[in-house]
Amino acid sequence: MTLSYTLAATDGGARAGMLHTAHGEVPTPVFMPVGTAGTVKAMTADAVRSTGARIVLGNTYHLMLRPGAERVGRLGGLHKFMDWHGPILTDSGGFQVMSLSALRKMDKDGVTFQSHIDGSKHRLTPERSIEIQHLLDADITMSFDECTPYPATHEQAAKSMRLSMDWAARGRRAFVERPGYGLFGIVQGSTYADLRAESAAALIGIGFEGYAVGGLAVGEGQEAMFSTLDFTTPLLPTDKPRYLMGVGTPDDIIGAVARGIDMFDCVIPTRSGRMGRAYTSRGVLNMRNARHAEDPSPLDPECDCPACTNHSRAYIHHLIKAEEMLGPMLLTWHNIRYYQRLMARLREAILAGRFAEEAAAIRAGWSTPA
Amino acid sequence: MTLSYTLAATDGGARAGMLHTAHGEVPTPVFMPVGTAGTVKAMTADAVRSTGARIVLGNTYHLMLRPGAERVGRLGGLHKFMDWHGPILTDSGGFQVMSLSALRKMDKDGVTFQSHIDGSKHRLTPERSIEIQHLLDADITMSFDECTPYPATHEQAAKSMRLSMDWAARGRRAFVERPGYGLFGIVQGSTYADLRAESAAALIGIGFEGYAVGGLAVGEGQEAMFSTLDFTTPLLPTDKPRYLMGVGTPDDIIGAVARGIDMFDCVIPTRSGRMGRAYTSRGVLNMRNARHAEDPSPLDPECDCPACTNHSRAYIHHLIKAEEMLGPMLLTWHNIRYYQRLMARLREAILAGRFAEEAAAIRAGWSTPA
């Protein structure tokens, strides 16, 4: 049987469930730390596991360029390569070709581009993207699509979405089914309800193991993102997981869970950690700030990560000021743990039928002075 | 009782013993990882402990400038600040004032200098150095001295050494005795046997809990270093620990242990790790080298660190090429574990009376192709 999803409970629009994959089960709603180039930046795989993370994301674009998908395949796949033995989701490469590569040229069949690392020429098509993700041994393969830029006219968004739907069908044919593995389709259509409906119907017609909402978190703002979800998630099958790509802040995630999203990934906790920012139950702390210089209290009194258990804000402030690698290491660890605790708390609340109250309590904490 | 040392066994010139400090016992010979600015770079304190390290070094110069000794004192001392609950040795700051600071001006009473961080003006004297190390709560305080540059004429070396002996006496008077804490004197005199003898006699006359050999590993080369040790260590009391400052490669350490040294510190394992180099039972590997790109074997088949247990050379090569922080993290961890395993192996061999054979076996391994 391919990858599957069991819905355990709903509370309003929010859902709690379980993903069943080749490399283990994943309780949802879930946040997937981003392991761009075969590593969640600044963390060992053991540390990532210790945060409670059950699934991580890998980037096809980065891995195809370095060390190369065939090489990862020969070395036994991405799980073995990066010592992550739980499930892995890989993106299709499409988004990063558009945001990172040089001299890209798109045609109806795919994209030709130059590597941002060494200028070498590469080509991605729906079939090649699926093949790369197979070589990486991704539990969840994403359809190759064009992430429609924002803003886009209705005509641009329609044209882009229809190309992605064609590519989704080609990807489905190229995908090699294996037990516990699955392929997700990606709903496009920008902020246009009719296009999202057309896209969802097209994908459901093809049939996927899960459905992602793409083309959001690209500058449209939280209000437009939430209103797009309001008319998009009801279009999706209830017996399949729903994944909101590239989202987001804790507040974004709570709002999207309320609107029926099960899966998230975002570089915010890792990138913020490297920039000296900590997500806490009392809001976001900028650890460069001099007010932390002699503060003996932990980042977050509610957190059980090593940064909070073993160290003061004063120490972490010192590490960031001194540009010591341990600063980003501890803040990344803390932020990923914060995100995992947030998701566990949301899931429990959904199971207990008190999601709205819990969401309100979490948001109230952010306004309490740290 | 102040910090003490028990000699357990000798084998030729090599010694195995035990340091008894306020924060625990330390089997010798011992390698102390360098925690410059309150962190062993790229490692959590938990990770440092897991390597078997029992004592770490902190740098007075770095910590006095940032975050400041008084601040570390108010926060409960360096152990608490950096989450290191074992013994800590701090250097006196003298060496790094000379190598790192700007506009330094030395007089008979001490050194005035500008911070390399922000240009602020500071002054170190023997008394202030001891006071800073007390504020940091160092188990082992080092005498403030001038590290004689190399090469130095006999006259220069004599003048520099005699100034350091004057400062050592002043430091001894300033040092506040506490149970399990101790002050070490530093033998100077460059490569001149008569000056080393004069310096050792002066320090023994003052009386210290341990004796360091300073002014080596500053460009004189291994042969001159070893010959200086040959006539210096016999001058030192057998019932006190001997510390060779800033040394060195595994080969340097084996040679110095053979000549009666008990304690070592060096940035080589940490700095090399950040540069992509791995110390192994088969010699040093440059992990940037393309020959590792598809090698599924571990860095060192004899090693039990996480880098060797969980990852291939191919993965570590990838991390270094991709400039991922995890590369330096894993290589630092491995190198510190390699140094700890080396020291444990030397100690066991001394206790078993087969130091020379073991040293030969270790050195033979380095010539075996990796």
Regions of chain A with pLDDT less than 70: none
Judge whether B293 is closer than 8 Å to chain A, CB to CB.
yes
Compute how many other C-beta atoms are within 10 angstroms of the C-beta atom of residue B309. Answer: 11
* Mean pLDDT calculated for residue range B275-284: 98
* Mean pLDDT calculated for residue range B218-234: 97
Assess whether A46 carries a catalytic annotation: no
> Residue B98 has what pLDDT?
85
Q: What is the mean pLDDT of chain B?
A: 97
Judge whether A219 is closer than 8 Å to chain B, CB to CB.
no
pLDDT tens-digit map of A116-136: 999 999 999 999 999 999 999
Judge whether A119 is closer than 8 Å to chain B, CB to CB.
no
Q: Which of B302, B357, B363, B360 is nearest to B334 (CA)?
A: B302
Chain A residues in contact with B76 by the CB 8 A cut-off are: 296
CB contact under 8 A, A66 and B321: yes
pLDDT at B228 over 90: yes
* Residue A41, min C-alpha distance to chain B (Å): 6
Topology of domain B4-222 in CATH is TIM Barrel (3.20.20)
Tokens of B232: 């210096």
> Residue B218 has what pLDDT?
93
pLDDT tens-digit map of B80-121: 999 999 999 999 998 998 888 888 999 999 999 999 999 999
Measured CA angle at B46 (ends B183, A249), to 5 deg: 130
d(CA B181, CA B1): 8
Domain residue extents for chain B: 4-222, 273-366
d(CA A148, CA A186): 11
CB contact under 8 A, A318 and B46: no
Chain B residues in contact with A44 by the CB 8 A cut-off are: 306, 326, 329-330
| ipTM value | 0.97
d(CA B61, CA B189): 23
pLDDT tens-digit map of B63-76: 999 999 999 999 99
Percent of residues, chain B, with pLDDT higher than 90? 95
Q: Give me the torsion for CA of A256, A258, A262, A266, rounded to 10°.
A: 30
pLDDT at B40 over 90: yes
Pairing of strands A242-244, A210-213: parallel
CATH says A4-266 is which class?
Answer: alpha beta
Q: Which residues contact B74 (CB under 8 A, 6 or more apart)?
A: A294
